[in-house]
Structure 1
């Protein structure tokens, strides 16, 4: 457990009013309680985020950034794939036509996702 590793490393817990005093060292218990509360808070935030995403989707909102791909980019990517180019090479030859990344290149992962969404099963290997 994290609290045990911290204690074994000589890391203690000190409050602004000073260390906790007593017959035993309660900092291990405090670390454990704080770790448990932190885990619960993290799970609560995750749950609320997922609920927010579901609610937004139900209202017709898109989750995530704007798409950088379009039909012209897909057509060129499919042509380059037929020419046996690698994903990395295809990504380097494509140019984003809109949005804040206009003029840049999509990542190889974006090209792969574009192929998958188009329904293409065979994708070029990375060379």
Structure 2
């Protein structure tokens, strides 16, 4: 484990490429990654709707391992849509930000190097409908925490939070945590929460657990 505040011991760029169908070629993405100087590439053909992406998980796991060893790491992708869309991309960017991993897109509207925190903002701004929907759910959950019920809209509970915290301690991604949780009540009973819901639930818990500041 690298010492706190130590200078990064080098810089590694890890590539990721994804096609949504078996027939869609990966050659363009792979060529672009190689031209950008990326030598370690993880690639897969899998739908955007898939709840798990094994090669992406491997890329992030390697990035975390290298980062914990004190190496500066950037995840390089041909275009941001290869990582996902909307709040799924925002959730992944949040994981990278928390781990201190950089992000670079070679083409598209987000082309260039990024602090993942900025990607979260951009993605949410560009998917207004999805963002508003989740903010509405957030309001419902906040009301529930104050003892109010909003038409059964709440999908999280204490048991789900406890399990999510347990899974987070095992360094699982938000997508993997969501895939292991089940909504226990309401109109969505029996379904899986979204990665965005898990992210919001954990953020709210972390905020509630933070010690209150005191003044002399």
What interval of TM-score do these two structures reach, taking the shorter chain for normalisation? 0.3 to 0.5
As a proportion of its length, which structure holds more helix? 1
TM-score, normalising length: structure 1: 0.43
